Amino acid sequence: MNVKFKAARVIAGILIGCLATTGVYAGSKGDRDSSRRGGNSDKAASAVRNATGGKVLGVRGGDQERDDYDVRVLLPDGRVRTLRFDPRTGHVSD
């Protein structure tokens, strides 16, 4: 009986941990920012992907303090670079 009780506590702990993690992700700042920015982060990722042929690893910026986006990209040659996207001009630069 003691083994069953311990197993039940472990399973309950795992479930609580999973639920807590899901709740944090659902309410994360990134979700709110992407809707507020009107999808410009998607445009930034697409522009960098088209310009480099690489895989976009992440997008930052586009907040109240700055309009441009920093986009981390894994280039086809294996290097990782951060490029800047200006949503007003659509220009991608170093």
pTM, rounded to two decimals = 0.58
CA-wise closest residue to 41 among 65, 79, 67: 67
Residue 66 backbone phi and psi in degrees, to 5: -150, 145
Is residue 79 within 8 Å of 93, Cβ to Cβ?
no
Amino acid identity of 15? L
State yes or no: pLDDT of 15 exceeds 70: no
Q: How is residue 58 written in tokens?
A: 């992440």
Strand order in the sheet with 69-74: 55-61, 69-74, 80-86, 91-93
Dump pLDDT digits (tens) for 53-68: 999 999 998 777 778 9
pLDDT band at 86 (very low <50, low <70, confident <90, very high): very high
